[in-house]
Every structure is written in structure tokens, then in C-alpha cells.
């Protein structure tokens, strides 16, 4: 796997070019070679025709013009051509002087369909030979003489078949082909070499936008995610990448901001009770006090630490839910009974605030869920209700069974929230009064936790507002 896009592009381009050059060079070579060979063969055939024309048959005797032997081509010392005539019975009629003691051998073929053969002469000379069989010209008597009796009685003369082989030197042809091959090779190699020098800068220039993109990405600082990649003057191929990156940055920014706000909120929520403990302890330690005062101070600190612990438990529960680390059981739960159990913890506070609860859930309604977590949800809701119901007000619970779920309603009177505020009750650290600094369970995490747990249990939590009645509706699968 090549890591560099530049290398890849270069290698790809150059390989493609090599392949194309090879294919085209081959085609050029084949075409030119066949043209040259055809030309060579055409010349061989014309020589053959000439030689066959110089062969005649007189009666039963075949005569080859001896002048052929005097033709320069067959006589010269340098790269001579060769020929040899045979009759049908294999008797040699004539041979070129250049053949000397060497022999050619016939290999079939006719004037119309000559056969070619490439071989080397015994002296190593490369030749291309043509072999044909032909009927020699008949030497007819002149018209001025009347045909003799015997000639008339012998109307048909058996025409003999003569075999002719001509071999011609191919050194020149081979030299031309070698030269052609060399030319093509040199042209190809230099084209590839030069194209490397052309392609490299083109690829480099072409990839420049990638470098500029890289620089832009490099400039994105994890401390400041508001930066975006400039999409103007962008190559169309890179636009989707930039857009995706910008999308990613936006999402990261949002989630970072959420984290940061959450951390700040947590810090704030922990600082206040911590300040309470510190100042209580420091003021108490200012001087020697009597036992009652120490007792009060310690009880105050204990109450604060309990609230802080509750808050940290809630935070941990939220973190575990976010990380999907909570495990859930499936218990058979009798809903009305579970609510009564949860309510036990708040009866004192309810009596203190003169609040009544009306549990309208039928004892026949059961569901399958995680007892521990569902009771945590219900406790949170009841706790919330008991704190925010008006003095002398009422809290009631109801449940509705559908085919696959149970809808639980927990409602209380005395709600002073606006519709907009009501829609925010599930947000982290949200409080009815933005300035309220009750800590612990009332740190603004209770309802956020309710929603998270209910969702993790496979249900949902929604809020409804009817005049001064605040209703939380939970859907829990059966």
C-alpha cells in the first residue's frame, strides 16, 4: 500500500503510459514489418515470375535460359541471391552460380499460392526463400510451317511441372526491422522519462489544495473549535471533504461546549456546599465552644456532606447511564405497592408541609422492570413533588395500561412554571428558580436522572402542564 497520493498518481500515470506505448509500438512494428515483408515478397514473386517466364519446354525437354546465371543478383559475391530449378522427378535443371555446392530444397507452393520460408544458408547468411511449382512455356512451332503429320497425330504435349526455389538475402530487411525496433524503444523510453518530469510537477501542483486543506486543519485548535475550514475557492472534489469536516467541527464544538458547561455546573454545585462546610468548620474553630455548639456545627456539616453525596451519586448514575454501564434486572413489579414504598421516605416532609398523596394506581397493574432503578425514578419524582407542591396541596399518582406499556402519571398542584420552563425541567442543573442554591437532591439533577433512567429502561418521560398542575408522564414497557 503506497502511502503517498503523489507517488500513487505518478506511478499510475507512468504505468498507464508504459502500457499504451508498448501497445502502440507493437502495432506500429507489426504494421511496418508486414509492409516490409510484403514488399520483399512481392519482389521475390516478380523475380520468380521472370525466371519462370525464361523457362520453356520444347517437346519433352525443358530449357532454362542460361542467361539467368549471368544476372548480377545471382552472381555477386556480397549477399547474393540463390535459385534452383528442378523437374518433377527431382532432376536439377539449373542452379545459380552463387549456390556453388550448396543445395536449396523445394517446399511446395504454386505461382498463385507461393510458400515462403526463412532459414540460414550454410554460410550463415539469413535468407527468405520462395518455392513454387509451375508449367513452363511451350515452345510452339512457327505458323509459317505446316504441322507435320506426326505433329498433328500428336496433338497434345505433356507439359512438365518445374519446381523453382529462390532465396534472397534478408540482412537488409532485418537491419531495417532492428532499426525500427530501436527507434520505437528509444522513443518510448525517452517519452516515459520526459513524462515523469512533466507529470511530477503537474501532480504536485494538482495536490496543492490538499496541502492547503491540511494547513487549515492543522490550524484548528482543540481549545477553540469555532474555527471553520474556508470553503470558498475550493476544488469541487474537495468541497464534500471540507463540508464533512466542518460538520464534524460543529458537532465537536457543540459537544465540547456541553461538556464544558456541565463541568462548570458541577464545579459550581460542589463549590457552594464546600464553602458551607469550610465556613462552618472555620467559624467553629475560631474559639473554644461548648458541646452544644460543636454538636450543631457537626450536624450541619453532616447534612451538607449527605447532600453532596446524594449529588455525586446522581452524577455517577448519570455518567454510568451515558456510558451504558448500568445493568438492569427484570423483576415483576406491583406498581401501586412500589409507589407506596417510595413514598415512605417523604411522609415526614409531606406532613410538615401539609401535603396529601393520593395513589390512584390499581393494585392489579404489574410490570416487568428493574425494581431498584424504577424506585429511584419514582423516589426522585415524589421528592420533587413534595418539595414543589404548594403547602396544603395534593400529589396524586395514576397508571394506565396499554398493550405493550404502562403510562404512569405523577402530578402535583401548586406549579408556578411557565410552559417554556416546564419544557426545560429535564435539563441538567435546571431549577425552577435559576438562583436557587439548594444542594444535593435538589441540585437540578433529579429530573435529568429520571429521564435518563426511564429511557434506559426502554420507556420515556414527558412533562405536561395544566394550569397549576404539574404532571410527569412515564411510559414503562410491560
Residues that bind another protein in the complex, under the rule CB under 8 A: 264, 267-269, 271-280, 282-284, 286-287, 297, 300-301, 303-304, 433-437, 439
Q: Which is nearer to another protein, 242 or 442 (CB)?
A: 442
Tell the smallest beta-carbon distance from residue 266 to another protein (Å): 11
Q: What are phi and psi of 226, to 5 degrees?
A: -80, -15
Tell the smallest beta-carbon distance from residue 305 to another protein (Å): 11
Q: Which is nearer to another protein, 278 or 360 (CB)?
A: 278
Q: Which is nearer to another protein, 292 or 404 (CB)?
A: 292
Measured CA to CA, the distance from residue 90 to residue 332 in angstroms comes to 115
Measured CA to CA, the distance from residue 476 to residue 458 in angstroms comes to 7
Measured CA to CA, the distance from residue 267 to residue 102 in angstroms comes to 112
Q: Which is nearer to another protein, 89 or 433 (CB)?
A: 433
**Set of cell numbers at residue 348:** 415526614
Q: Which is nearer to another protein, 256 or 328 (CB)?
A: 256
Q: Which is nearer to another protein, 373 or 439 (CB)?
A: 439
Tell the smallest beta-carbon distance from residue 9 to another protein (Å): 50
Tell the smallest beta-carbon distance from residue 438 to another protein (Å): 8
- Strand, coil or helix: 466: strand
Measured CA to CA, the distance from residue 203 to residue 182 in angstroms comes to 31
Q: Which is nearer to another protein, 251 or 271 (CB)?
A: 271
**Set of cell numbers at residue 260:** 464544558
**Set of cell numbers at residue 397:** 399518582
Measured CA to CA, the distance from residue 25 to residue 188 in angstroms comes to 8
Tell the smallest beta-carbon distance from residue 312 to another protein (Å): 16
**Set of cell numbers at residue 336:** 401501586
Tell the smallest beta-carbon distance from residue 310 to another protein (Å): 15
The count of other CB atoms within 10 Å of the CB of residue 422 is: 16
Tell the smallest beta-carbon distance from residue 263 to another protein (Å): 12
Measured CA to CA, the distance from residue 335 to residue 406 in angstroms comes to 10
Q: Which is nearer to another protein, 404 or 433 (CB)?
A: 433
Q: Which is nearer to another protein, 315 or 377 (CB)?
A: 315
Tell the smallest beta-carbon distance from residue 260 to another protein (Å): 11
Measured CA to CA, the distance from residue 130 to residue 112 in angstroms comes to 12
Whether the CB-CB separation of 396 and 367 falls below 8 Å is answered with no
Tell the smallest beta-carbon distance from residue 302 to another protein (Å): 11
Q: Cell 413489579 maps to which residue?
A: 333
Tell the smallest beta-carbon distance from residue 327 to another protein (Å): 35
DSSP 8-state symbol, 59: T
* Listed residue (398, 422, 361, 364) closest to 474, CA to CA: 398
HSE, CB side, 13 Å, CA atoms: give it for residue 33.
14
Tell the smallest beta-carbon distance from residue 278 to another protein (Å): 5
Q: Which is nearer to another protein, 301 or 469 (CB)?
A: 301
Query: Dmax of the chain from CA atoms?
Result: 176
Q: Does an H or E element contain 396, and which?
A: strand 394-401
Q: Which is nearer to another protein, 246 or 306 (CB)?
A: 306
Measured CA to CA, the distance from residue 76 to residue 380 in angstroms comes to 121
Measured CA to CA, the distance from residue 440 to residue 438 in angstroms comes to 7
Mark residue 324 as left, alpha or beta (left: phi above 0; alpha: psi -120 to 50; beta: remaining): left
Amino acid at each position: 500500500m503506497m502511502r503517498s497520493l503523489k507517488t500513487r498518481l505518478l506511478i499510475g500515470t507512468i504505468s498507464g503510459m508504459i502500457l499504451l506505448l508498448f501497445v502502440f509500438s507493437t502495432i506500429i512494428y507489426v504494421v511496418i514489418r508486414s509492409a516490409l515483408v510484403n514488399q520483399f515478397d512481392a519482389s521475390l514473386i516478380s523475380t520468380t515470375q521472370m525466371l519462370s517466364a525464361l523457362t520453356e519446354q520444347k517437346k519433352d525437354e525443358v530449357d532454362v535460359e542460361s542467361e539467368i546465371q549471368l544476372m548480377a543478383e545471382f552472381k555477386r559475391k556480397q549477399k547474393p541471391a540463390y535459385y534452383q530449378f528442378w523437374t518433377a522427378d527431382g532432376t536439377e535443371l539449373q542452379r545459380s552460380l552463387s549456390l556453388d555446392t550448396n543445395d536449396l530444397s523445394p517446399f511446395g507452393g504454386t505461382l498463385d499460392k507461393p510458400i515462403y520460408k526463412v532459414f540460414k544458408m550454410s554460410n550463415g547468411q539469413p535468407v527468405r526463400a520462395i518455392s513454387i511449382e509451375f508449367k513452363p512455356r511451350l515452345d510452339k512451332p512457327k505458323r509459317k510451317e505446316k504441322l507435320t503429320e506426326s505433329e498433328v497425330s500428336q496433338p497434345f504435349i505433356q507439359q512438365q511441372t518445374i519446381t523453382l526455389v529462390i532465396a534472397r538475402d534478408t540482412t537488409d530487411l532485418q537491419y531495417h526491422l532492428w532499426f525500427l525496433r530501436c527507434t520505437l524503444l528509444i522513443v518510448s523510453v525517452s517519452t516515459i522519462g520526459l513524462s515523469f518530469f512533466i507529470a511530477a510537477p503537474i501532480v504536485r501542483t494538482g495536490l496543492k489544495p490538499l496541502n492547503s486543506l491540511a494547513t487549515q486543519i492543522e490550524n484548528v485548535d482543540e481549545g477553540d473549535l469555532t474555527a471553520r475550514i474556508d470553503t470558498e475557492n475550493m476544488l469541487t472534489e474537495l468541497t464534500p471533504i471540507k463540508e464533512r469536516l466542518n460538520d464534524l467541527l460543529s458537532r465537536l464544538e457543540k459537544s465540547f461546549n456541553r461538556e464544558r458547561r456541565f463541568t462548570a455546573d458541577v464545579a459550581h454545585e460542589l463549590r457552594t456546599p464546600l464553602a458551607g462546610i469550610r465556613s462552618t468548620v472555620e467559624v467553629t474553630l475560631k474559639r473554644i465552644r461548648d458541646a452544644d455548639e460543636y454538636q450543631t456545627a457537626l450536624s450541619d456539616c453532616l447534612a451538607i456532606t449527605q447532600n453532596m453525596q446524594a449529588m455525586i451519586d446522581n452524577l455517577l448514575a448519570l455518567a454510568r447511564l451515558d456510558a451504558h454501564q448500568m445493568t438492569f434486572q427484570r423483576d415483576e413489579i406491583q406498581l401501586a405497592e412500589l409507589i407506596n414504598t417510595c413514598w415512605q421516605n417523604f411522609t415526614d416532609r409531606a406532613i410538615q408541609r401539609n401535603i396529601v398523596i393520593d395513589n390512584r394506581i390499581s393494585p392489579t397493574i404489574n410490570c416487568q422492570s428493574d425494581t431498584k432503578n424504577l424506585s429511584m425514578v419514582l423516589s426522585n419524582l415524589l421528592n420533587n413533588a413534595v418539595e414543589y407542591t404548594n403547602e396544603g396541596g395534593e400529589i396524586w399518582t395514576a397508571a394506565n395500561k396499554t398493550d405493550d406499556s404502562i403510562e404512569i402519571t405523577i402530578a402535583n398542584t401548586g406549579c408556578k412554571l411557565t410552559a417554556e420552563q416546564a419544557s426545560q425541567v429535564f435539563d441538567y442543573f435546571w431549577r425552577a428558580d435559576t438562583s436557587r442554591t439548594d444542594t444535593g437532591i435538589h441540585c437540578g439533577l433529579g429530573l435529568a436522572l429520571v429521564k435518563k433512567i426511564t429511557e434506559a429502561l426502554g420507556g420515556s418521560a414527558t412533562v405536561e402542564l395544566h394550569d397549576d398542575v404539574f404532571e410527569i408522564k412515564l411510559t414503562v414497557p410491560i
